[in-house]
């Protein structure tokens, strides 16, 4: 019976069309079981999400109620012993700073590469390049971490000395020498890590720009840059924003690359180039092995904060994408 199929490759029609045929009265037992199974899986997913929120919150409440200091403003992490005092101020600072540095570097470069692949590269090169970028997105983060710690860090001290010479007066870029295992290095490494994902989403959006828009601009005598500025970038703006948010979500939650590169300490450093600081994920990974049960609860509490932050960032990205879908659907 399965051979009764047409060979015509029709464009995917809305799936709803075929559905009315079966929603008749007599529901076969097989159908009921299958529907139950597939609906059950969907519900299981929801249950898992809810369980994550509930259990993390539960353990966090245990930890925060045992905290003798303010959980949000304390600049220390001492979750063992009889007088636990710990707070996420340093972690929040480090996470935000390293992610901001990462995005400041990655987004312009990623948009550049995406434009390069979609509009500048020779035709023959562009699809293999897109392929390679997708492959690079799959490189495990621990390998970025290993490379960052053993290759990138030694190569950055020269650049940091130079930054210190010319921009040291700002305070942000002062550098005391030594290994460049600082939040700024983490930012650079995170930028390299999120580059492939931001690039591949942006490239897809740029490739969707209606050909007519570009050709109209070209016909009016626009240069290639003017075409990009007037038809490609306005069309792709929301796509780039949501790609950046997805990248930001990755950068915020990245653990191993930060844990290998950063030399952590619980202080807020005004200079980004000097070692010190920490991020949520890195702190969990490096403090975990020596933590007792209460210490693990404390780490879970910091993980909950990270969870909430990434949820907000990802939710915002999805909203932007969803809005854009409606918009471009109407336009196309």
Partner 1 sequence: MSITTDRPAVSHGDAPLPVSLKHARLPRWTPPVLALVAAGAGCGIGLGAGLDSTVQWGLIAALLFVFGTFALAAAVEGGRQAKDRLATCLVWIAFLIAVVPLASLLWETVARGTKVLNGYFLSHSMGTTPDALPGGGINHAIIGTLEQVGLATLIAAPIGLLTAIYLVEYGRGRLARAVTFFVDVMTGIPSIVAGLFILSVWILILGFGPSGFAGSMALAILMMPVVVRSTEEMLKLVPNELREASLALGVPKWRTILKVVLPTSIGGITTGVMLAIARIAGETAPVLLLVWGAKTINNNPFEDAQQSLPLYVFQQWQQGSEASYDRAWAAALVLIAFVMILNLVARGIARWKAPRGGRS
Residues 313-332 that bind partner 1 (CB under 8 A): 313-315, 317-318
* CA–CA dist 127, 142 (Å, integer): 28
Q: Is 12 in the site for partner 1 (CB under 8 A)?
A: yes
Q: Is 303 in the site for partner 1 (CB under 8 A)?
A: yes
Q: Is 31 in the site for partner 1 (CB under 8 A)?
A: yes
Structure tokens at 276: 């010190």
* CA–CA dist 301, 252 (Å, integer): 16
Which residues are CB-contacts of 152 (< 8 A; sequence separation ≥ 6)? 185, 188, 189, 261
Where does this chain touch partner 1 (CB under 8 A) — which range of 75-83, 150-158, 205-213, 269-277?
A: 150-158
Longest CA pairwise span in the chain (Å): 80
From the list 25, 30, 82, 123, which residue makes contact with partner 1 (rule: CB under 8 A)?
A: 30
Q: Provide the Cα torsion 217, 218, 221, 222; round to 10°.
A: 70
Residue 261 CA from chain centroid, whole number: 18
Distance of closest approach, residue 13 Cβ to partner 1, in angstroms: 5
* Near partner 1 in 104-123, by CB under 8 A: 108-113, 115-116, 119-121
Q: Is 49 in the site for partner 1 (CB under 8 A)?
A: yes
Neighbour-count burial for 198-237, b at 16+ CB within 10 Å, e otherwise:
bbbbbbebbeebeeebbeebeeeebeeeebbebbbeebbe
Q: Is 85 in the site for partner 1 (CB under 8 A)?
A: no
Q: Is 127 in the site for partner 1 (CB under 8 A)?
A: no
* Near partner 1 in 233-252, by CB under 8 A: 246, 249, 252
* Near partner 1 in 217-236, by CB under 8 A: 220-226, 228, 230
Q: Is 268 in the site for partner 1 (CB under 8 A)?
A: no
């Amino acid at each position: 019976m399965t051979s009764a199929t047409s060979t015509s490759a029709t464009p995917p029609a809305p799936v709803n069309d075929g559905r009315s045929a079966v929603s008749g009265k007599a529901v076969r037992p097989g159908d009921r079981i299958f529907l139950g199974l597939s609906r059950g899986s969907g519900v299981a997913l929801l249950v898992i999400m809810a369980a994550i929120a509930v259990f993390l919150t539960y353990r966090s409440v245990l930890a925060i109620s045992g905290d003798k200091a303010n959980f949000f403003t304390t600049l220390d992490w001492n979750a063992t012993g009889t007088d636990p005092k710990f707070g996420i101020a340093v972690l929040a600072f480090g996470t935000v700073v390293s992610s901001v540095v990462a995005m400041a570097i990655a987004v312009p470069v990623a948009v550049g590469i995406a434009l390069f692949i979609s509009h500048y590269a020779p035709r023959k090169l562009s699809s293999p390049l897109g392929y390679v970028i997708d492959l690079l997105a799959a490189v495990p983060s621990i390998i970025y971490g290993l490379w960052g710690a053993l290759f990138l860090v030694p190569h950055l001290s020269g650049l940091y000395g130079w930054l210190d010479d010319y921009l040291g007066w700002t305070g942000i870029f002062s550098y005391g020498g030594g290994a460049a295992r600082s939040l700024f290095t983490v930012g650079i490494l995170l930028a390299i890590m999120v580059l492939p994902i931001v690039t591949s989403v942006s490239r897809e959006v740029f490739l969707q720009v209606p050909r007519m828009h570009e050709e109209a601009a070209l016909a009016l005598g626009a240069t290639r840059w003017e075409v990009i500025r007037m038809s490609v970038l306005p069309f792709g703006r929301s796509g780039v924003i949501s790609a950046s948010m997805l990248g930001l979500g990755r950068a915020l939650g990245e653990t191993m690359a930060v844990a290998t590169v950063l030399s952590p300490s619980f202080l807020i450093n005004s200079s980004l180039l000097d070692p010190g600081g920490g991020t949520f994920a890195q702190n969990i990974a490096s403090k975990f092995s020596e933590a007792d049960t209460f210490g693990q609860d404390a780490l879970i509490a910091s993980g909950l904060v990270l969870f909430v932050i990434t949820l907000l960032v990802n939710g915002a990205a999805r909203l932007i994408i969803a809005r854009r879908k409606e918009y471009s659907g109407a336009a196309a």
